[in-house]
Amino acid sequence: MSVATREFLRVEIDDGRVLVSRNRGVRHLCEQVRRVAPAKVPVLITGESGTGKELIARLLHRESPRAERGFIAFDCNAVTPSLLESELFGHERGAFTGAVAQHVGVFEAAHRTTLFLDEISNLPLPGQAKLLRVLQEREFRRLGGRQTINSDFRLITATNADLSANVKAGSFREDLYHRLKVVHLEVPALRARREDIPLLVGHFVAEKRQGLGRPEVCQVSHAALDLLTAYDWPGNIRELEHVVESAMLECTGSTIEVEHLLLDSGFVPPPVADGDLELPFRTARQRALASFERLYITVQMRRHCGSVTATAREAGITTKHIRALMRRHGIERRDFRPSLRHCPESSPTVRWLHGSFGRDTASASEVPLPPVR
C-alpha cells in the first residue's frame, strides 16, 4: 500500500520496508522513480552511506513491469576481487581450484528481472570492462564455460562515491560511467531533510517496540527530539535507526529522554558546516544564519503544533517576522499539525487522508508517530 498527500508520503515497498517522508526533495525523487520505472534503461543511484539507496532501487523494481519477479541485490564490496567474476558470471565445475560444482552467477540469476549492484565504485577495472561488455552485448559465459548465456536484466547501480571524480582519477572507466548514468537519482542526506526526523523516529519506535520487548515506550520528549533534529547524522537513516533502538533499550519508562540517546559525546549543534569555513566571511555568515533560522523555526513550530502566534510569542518577535522566515525557508504550517493520539497498548499513529502513489491507491493509511511531551 502506498499513500501520498500534500502533507505526507508513505510507500510500503516489500518485506516490511517502508519509505516515509514529508520532504519535498524525497517526494520529487519518488516522482522521478515513478516516471523512469517502466523503462529498461540503467539507473545510477548516488547518496551518502545509510541514506536508503537500496530502498529506492527496490521501489524502482516494485513500480516496474518486472515487479512480479525477484529482485537480485549484490554488493560489489562483499567478496574479494578474486571471487568477484565468479559471483557475477558464474563458473563451471573445475574452472579453478575449489570449483567443485557449477555455480550460477548474478547476471544469469537476474534474467527477466532487476539486478541491483551496490557499491559499484568498488568494482575493479577488469570487472568494469567485462560489465560494460555484458551491458552492450547482453551475453556472457560462465568462467570455464563455452556456452553463451543471454540475460535480459534491468540494471540499477548505487554508490556513495563521486564516480565522476573516480573517472578523473583513472579508477573508474568513463565509458562505463556514462553507460550506467542514463538516469541519475540522488538520495538526499538526512541532515538535508530534518523535517523527516520526527517522522522516522516515530516509524522506528512503532516498528521496533514489540520486537525489542519495550511495548511501553511510546513517547519522545521535546528535548530529545530537538537534539535528534539538530544532530547532523553522518550515518544518515541507518544511524538514526540504531540510535532509536539503543534509546528504547535504555529507556525504563514510556518516554525517550535526552539521557537515553547515544550520540557522539562531543556533539554540539554546529553554527556552520566545516566546508563553509573555507568561504568568504559574509557568505559563511549568511549560510550559518540561514541554517540557524531554519532549525529554530522548525523546532519551535513543531513544539507549538504549527501555531504562528505561539511561535512568535516564544521567539519574542512578531508573527509577520515568523511568516517571513517560513516563506524564506519553505516551511509550511501544515507540516506541524498532525493529530496525535495516546498509545497505552497499540502503536501511536497519525491518520492521513486519501492519496496514491504509482499503481497503488488507498483510502487511508495510519503512520506511526510518537507523541512528544
| Phi, psi for 272 (deg, rounded to 5) | -155, 140
Task: Enter the C-alpha cell of residue 299.
Answer: 523546532
Q: Which residues of 291-329 are buried (b: 16+ CB within 10 A; e: fewer)?
A: beebbebbbbbbbbebbbebbbeeeeeeeeebeebbeee
Written as one string, the DSSP assignment of 324-345 is HHHHHHT--GGGG-------SS
Residue among 42, 184, 46, 13 nearest 114 (CA): 42
Written as one string, the DSSP assignment of 216-269 is T--EE-HHHHHHHHHS--TTHHHHHHHHHHHHHHH--SSEE-GGG----TT---
* pLDDT score recorded for residue 337: 60
Which CATH number belongs to the domain containing residue 234 in this structure? 1.10.8.60
Are 210 and 288 members of one domain?
yes
In a domain, 363, yes or no: no
**Sign of the four-CA dihedral 98, 100, 102, 104:** negative
Range of the domain at 179: 24-186
* pLDDT score recorded for residue 345: 34
pLDDT string in tens for the chain (373-residue length):
444 444 678 888 887 789 999 888 999 999 999 999 999 999 999 999 999 999 999 999 999 999 999 899 999 988 888 788 889 998 888 878 888 888 999 999 999 999 999 999 999 998 899 999 999 988 998 888 888 999 999 999 999 999 999 999 999 999 999 999 999 999 999 988 988 998 899 999 999 999 999 999 988 888 788 888 888 899 999 999 999 999 999 998 999 988 899 887 555 555 555 566 677 877 777 777 777 788 788 888 878 888 899 888 888 889 999 898 888 887 888 767 643 333 333 333 332 222 334 433 332 233 344 444 4
Are 152 and 246 members of one domain?
no
In a domain, 281, yes or no: yes
Are 263 and 148 members of one domain?
no
CA distance from start to end of the chain = 31
Which CATH number belongs to the domain containing residue 150 in this structure? 3.40.50.300
* pLDDT score recorded for residue 342: 33
Are 151 and 177 members of one domain?
yes
Query: What is this structure's pTM?
Result: 0.75
Are 178 and 203 members of one domain?
no
Residue among 36, 117, 114 nearest 69 (CA): 114
* pLDDT score recorded for residue 369: 44
* pLDDT score recorded for residue 275: 62
Q: Which residues of 29-62 are buried (b: 16+ CB within 10 A; e: fewer)?
A: bbebbbebbeeeebbbbbbbebbbbbbbbbbbbb
Length of the chain: 373
* pLDDT score recorded for residue 356: 34
Are 123 and 270 members of one domain?
no
Are 80 and 136 members of one domain?
yes
Domain end (from 127, 152, 186)? 186
Q: What total number of domains does the chain contain?
A: 2
Q: Which residues contact 228 (CB under 8 A, 6 or more apart)?
A: 197, 198, 201, 240, 243, 261
| Residue 59 DSSP class | H
Are 246 and 290 members of one domain?
yes
| Phi, psi for 22 (deg, rounded to 5) | -120, 10
* pLDDT score recorded for residue 250: 92
Domain end (from 170, 186, 202)? 186
What angle, 0 to 180 degrees and rounded to 10, lies between the N-to-C axes of helices 81-89 and 125-137?
A: 10
